[in-house]
Amino acid sequence: MKLPLKVEQTIEVSLPISGRMVACDAEILAVLEKAFTISFPKRKGVLIPVEVDPIAVCISTPDAIFTMACRVEVLTAEGITLTIPPPEEIQRLQRRKYLRVRAKMPCLIEAEQENGEEDFKEGFAGVLMDLSGGGCAAVFTQNVPKEKMVRLTLELPDEGKTILMGKVIRSTIVRTPHGPSFQLSIEFRLLSEVDRAKLIRQVFSIQRRMAWRAAPPS
């Protein structure tokens, strides 16, 4: 598998900060046959010390995301040289428009009043089950009819509080340990480019973490 490595390309590396793994930015300084050199990683402009080996690396292209665990070969004052792992240890994740991932997190839904979408009923809590840049599925103890406009409030782990407009396109009764509930499929509507970008970043962040967990141990 040939990796899309280019000098001056920005990549992501995952490093521990305050007890949790956080994505940091680094620039590729040189590309060798079996290794590549990166600048020291930064998080929001602040240099982050490299205290782990191997380092989880994520390389993004327009049609795919590559994740891998790279051993530190050389550490100098100029940068860090990382070994390219064997092809079988590199995860390639295909990008698709509005890729959907499992994402279990609390959410709040408010359904429109009968007099129009600008006026919403008091909301009730539920659990998000999956998420994409174009919609989501969530489970609630109360139903919202198909075709109803809703306002959905999410607390995205990497993006913070996000309020989205959508339309219920499907409602299915599901059995839970607490009794019957309703799984709603919601198609997002009237999304700003800012909110769409937040959703897509969150989806790919979840996908990267899934790939790192699935990667074979070094």
pLDDT digits 0-9 by tens, 54-68: 888 888 776 777 888
pTM of the model: 0.57
CA distances to 24, 41, 70 from 47, in Å? 9, 6, 19
pLDDT at 114: 66
Residue 92 has pLDDT above 90, yes or no: no
pLDDT at 116: 46
How many whole angstroms separate alpha carbon 150 and alpha carbon 144? 9
Whose structure tokens read 């059995």?
A: 175
How many whole angstroms separate alpha carbon 18 and alpha carbon 40? 18
pLDDT at 117: 43
**Binning pLDDT at 50, 70 and 90, where does residue 1 land?**
low
pLDDT at 159: 86
How many whole angstroms separate alpha carbon 198 and alpha carbon 216? 30
- The CA-based angle 194-144-100, given to 5 degrees, is 45
- Compute and round to an integer the Cα radius of gyration of the chain: 21
Residue 218 has pLDDT above 60, yes or no: no
Q: What structural domains and CATH numbers belong to the chain?
A: 10-95 (2.30.110.10), 101-203 (2.40.10.220)
The answer to whether the CB of 140 falls within 8 A of the CB of 128 is no
Question: pLDDT for 144-180, tens place per residue?
Answer: 999 898 999 999 988 889 999 999 999 999 988 878 9
pLDDT at 13: 87
Residue 70 has pLDDT above 70, yes or no: yes
Residue 118 has pLDDT above 60, yes or no: no
Sequence length of the chain is: 218
Q: Which residue has the higher pLDDT, 127 or 194?
A: 127
CB count in 10 Å sphere of residue 109: 23
